[in-house]
Structure 1
């Protein structure tokens, strides 16, 4: 199981709603407010690390950045995974401009993914 799925495993719909809204807003905030570095901590740091992991998986599965060629998708996926691993391992969470742009795209995609999870019927309804 991927780390972002473990992170979301026991979240109720209100927590998913908050995470989805926060990811969407954070994606906009880090681009608009960027000056020298993006410094994330706490929930925003965790959310961004999981968003980057999700985005890398989505690109690999053809669910995101499908307009790019294979080389570009593989390169973006590698960058997402590297940033996500570094952030999860507690490496300095300050992001330069390129990493900030990538994180913003990942957060936006993760927000949409979370929105889809909120709209899914609960597991018992699926089993019936």
Structure 2
């Protein structure tokens, strides 16, 4: 049987990871947009990049995930997305000289797709 304390530690680790990932992602999106004169566009990019992190924080603090399997899957998704996003945003996986702007558009879209699939799967499993 799983120890409830290990479940809480896993939840706290996921929350800490998502917060650190959000801060690093925010720094990277600000750095990438430093030459853009449009404040509105920069704010929109920041909101778009941070939105999956906000969703993961909300999901992780929610009491809705009663079953441990669902919670553990959520924690793993949170950690994977929170670690992968800043790595991708940093450009270390991109070829030298590649434009990073598409990454700031598609990574959050991918994260939202994963979040949506998880929510649909959980809601179908409750029936």
Q: What TM-score, normalized to structure 2? A: 0.34
User: By percentage of residues, which structure has more helix?
Assistant: 2
Structure ranking higher on relative contact order (CA contacts 8 Å, 6+ apart): 1
Larger Rg: 2
